[in-house]
Amino acid sequence: MYDGGKIITGLIIGIGLFLSPFFYNAGKVAKAPDPELTEKAKEAKECVASKPYMKAWHMQLLDEWRDEAVRDGERYYSTDRKTWEMPLGKRLMYELRGFIADDGKKDKKPKIGKVYLKSLQVTCMDCHSNKSKFCDECHNYVGVTPYCWDCHIEPEEKK
């Protein structure tokens, strides 16, 4: 091998540079996101759906809302307590079979909870008016940049 020494030193420096972020951050734990609730959100206790559901599926909910509100003109959402946490297929079956729940009993009257206007800007951000400490907290942590805010106006925050 010609110039073996130089090549190997070069390789070591190169690999070292490549791995430097790894060594730099080794042993440190990245701060887990801790979204902060506003007073208003704390008082309300419950969102349009339960907390675990909203944590995992809020993007799907928003996506459904935007299609229903804009394209189908269905602008109101009622929190049907029996159905909000069911997977879509199950929910469809529940509604098609005339509200027969898992235990085989028929719900005489499907429970309709509160009614909300399907609007990110008006409904969601009314309670969660602290975008930088609520939305951005997790979005930054997982490295996603939703383009909602290209058009939808976030509430003004006090600094």
Q: Binding residues for other proteins, per CB under 8 A?
A: 66, 70-71, 73, 75, 119, 121-122, 147, 150-153, 155
Query: DSSP readout, 61-125?
Result: HHHHHHHHHHTS---EEEEETTTTTS-HHHHHHHHHTTSB-TTSPBPSS--EEEEEE--IIIIIH
From the CB of 116, what's the least distance to other proteins, in Å?
14
Q: How far is the CB of 147 from other proteins (least distance, A)?
A: 8
Q: Which is nearer to other proteins, 70 or 92 (CB)?
A: 70
User: Which lies closer to other proteins via its Cβ, residue 141 or residue 149?
Assistant: 149
Distance CA 29, CA 69 (A): 42
Give the C-alpha separation, 148 to 139, whole Å.
12
Minimum distance of other proteins from residue 45's CB (angstroms)? 25
Kindly state the smallest distance separating residue 140's Cβ from other proteins, in Å. 21
Nearer to other proteins, 103 or 150 (CB): 150
Cα–Cα distance, 91 to 99 (Å, whole number) = 9
